[in-house]
Structure 1
């Protein structure tokens, strides 16, 4: 078997594979969590080490949680900062470009540079009620309701994988190993929310390990819909209305949660 793995797409958007390579290298830089090694990249390919998968155990998942907290604590220069000049979100065959503007506010980053442009791209595909529900949730985020966790303080920019659903977490002999990032400076709950969104093996052990390394305030899981909201809305753009009910339900949850935090 070949010792490397090649991702290839003729006609890939300019900078696509360079962005992924830079993201992997940035996540590997602190040396706290296993990350697939970049061997080479070009305009239409990315060559990576080939990883062998193993069955995960609860103990390994708990250790991954601790390591993920360490990765987040390594920090980032700002919210929305990316390690390359361009950034993308989505699958190999249909990624879309996202902002690389860096700032000091999670609210501005998440609402103004991620959610609202994505909502605008769906203009004409949503009903007035659907658009209003999503816009209301974006507004609740944009006024700073989720800059902290459960209304506590303000989070500093964390070093985020950015697309950490279970398919981008491989269990290897080295432990939980990161692949396929949309790496950026963000809120630490972004990665935890994506692990939760579609289900991940030994999720409770991952969360327990994370909290051992970096305790979170009681009730933090109620904040998660705000941090998986971009991914849900992106699924509507990429895969259609089949994800819309889940997205609108999340929007309602976000708006209600923001109201409770204000009260």
Structure 2
């Protein structure tokens, strides 16, 4: 895996200053991440293989900028992407971490609802991106069930089949899907909103990182937040005050969680297989 010395000279040229101090940060399965200090500012640098993950950081920069432009919930400002010595890198604002402010979860819920109010006519996005180390397709569709099948579920099922997993009920799930999903306008979603993808800034407010954005059904973010936990009930209660979810949303969470479980199956292996089969069988 590539490290800071592989791209240090290139980064210093882009920032027009020397790196005075650096240290590696924890977390991440596919990137090496570093804190760097210069005379002018502090940054976070993410580094990985340009060959293995082409366009990953360019897509992440677009995602961060798109979220930032909504003026709803904080994200790190992204400065530069680049390559050097076979490595790709992304330079971002360093956000020191603080403690939760009073009503942190209520603030989070309100801001997430405001984010989801950002919409456009079609589901998808202007470009593809990544979820983890896997490509995520974002072709545009008017229909949410067509988008969800062709751009989310089917690519992951086909990938899982190449890894030796069998799925007998996926076609039945596809046929049922149109009747299961309520019709809503597309919402700008973070796309990978588990509890490791938010920070608390020095003001005690939430900050989102590592987006996998698109215009999608907003219940996908809510479903991912419930899949692995780590978000308090006050968040969802305050969300409902700003942008109430359609009746029965709790019963639909597993429909959206299917995508994330397939992603985890393809990234981390068979421990997620039974959960995938359970959802497919439920709606067969």
TM-score, normalising length from structure 1? 0.84
Instruction: Answer whether contact 2:99 2:202 (CA < 8 A) is retained.
Output: no
Q: 156, 172, 175: which one pairs with 1:136?
A: 172
1:198-233 CA deviation, whole Å, 9 max, x = no partner? 00232x111011101011234311111111211110
* Corresponding residue SS for 1:122: helix
| 2:202 aligned with 1:173 | yes
**Residues in 2 aligned to 1:96 and 1:123: alpha-carbon distance in whole angstroms:** 15
Query: What RMSD, in angstroms, separates the aligned Cα atoms of the two structures?
Result: 2.0
Corresponding position of 2:97: 53
* Corresponding residue SS for 2:103: helix
Is there any run of 5+ residues in structure 2 with no aligned partner, and where?
1-35
Structure 1 residue 41: Cα displacement: 1.3
* Corresponding residue SS for 2:188: strand
More helix by share: 1
Structure 1 moving runs of 4+ over 6 Å: none
The alignment of Structure 1 onto Structure 2 pairs a total of residues equal to: 239
Structure 1 residue 127: Cα displacement: 5.5
- After TM superposition, the structure 1 = structure 2 runs for residues 20-59 of structure 1, keeping only pairs within 5 Å, are 20-43=60-83, 44-56=88-100, 59=103
Is there any run of 5+ residues in structure 1 with no aligned partner, and where?
149-153, 257-263
Structure 1 residue 134: Cα displacement: 4.2
| 2:175 aligned with 1:145 | no
**Residues in 2 aligned to 1:140 and 1:96: alpha-carbon distance in whole angstroms:** 26
* Corresponding residue SS for 1:53: coil
TM-score, normalising length from structure 2? 0.78
1:33-92 CA deviation, whole Å, 9 max, x = no partner? 11111121124111111122233356111111111111110113421224xx331111xx
Structure 1 residue 32: Cα displacement: 1.1
1:217-261 CA deviation, whole Å, 9 max, x = no partner? 3431111111121111011011110111222223344x17xxxxx
